[in-house]
Amino acid sequence: MRTWLIRGGVALLAVVLALGAVPTWRIGWLLRDDYMLDGITVAVALDWRDFGIDKAKQRLQYELDRAGLDAVRDEACKLDEGKDGLRKVACAWSMDLALPLWPHPIPLSFQSEASVDRNGVLAR
């Protein structure tokens, strides 16, 4: 009887872990993409400061293609220069995450931003 309870407990634990692994796996990839995008925005902001807007746009396109960020579209990123000389690179994207055994998709939003002030100082 005791062996049966232990085996049943182990089987139940395996099922719970398997059901938890799928959302963790899917969300983990999205968090990795967001982390990579944080670095890309910083690199593009620094290129904008050092080489100008055209090189910054080229760098943004190159980095997005190289990173293979499937959920991030090219239109998700914008380069804006404010009146005060602040150059801002901002990327924002969202998606609906569908999970097994969950009837409704979960909306997720991500945002990465880096800026350089008129003195060339990087701000995140």
Domain count, the chain: 1
With both helix axes pointing from N to C terminus, report the angle between 53-67 and 2-51 in degrees, rounded to the nearest 10: 160
User: How far is 99 from 22, CA to CA, in rounded Å?
Assistant: 8
| 9 falls within a domain | no
Q: Each residue of 90-104: pLDDT tens digit? A: 999 998 888 777 789
Inter-residue contact 43 to 59 (CB < 8 Å): yes
| 1 falls within a domain | no
| 3 falls within a domain | no
| 50 falls within a domain | yes
| 23 falls within a domain | no
| 91 falls within a domain | yes
Residue 115: band (very low, low, confident or very high) from pLDDT cuts 50, 70, 90: very high
Residue 114 has pLDDT above 60, yes or no: yes
Inter-residue contact 88 to 82 (CB < 8 Å): yes
User: Residue 99's pLDDT is what?
Assistant: 75
pTM exceeding the 0.85 threshold for the entire prediction: no
| 18 falls within a domain | no
Domain range enclosing 65: 30-123
| 24 falls within a domain | no
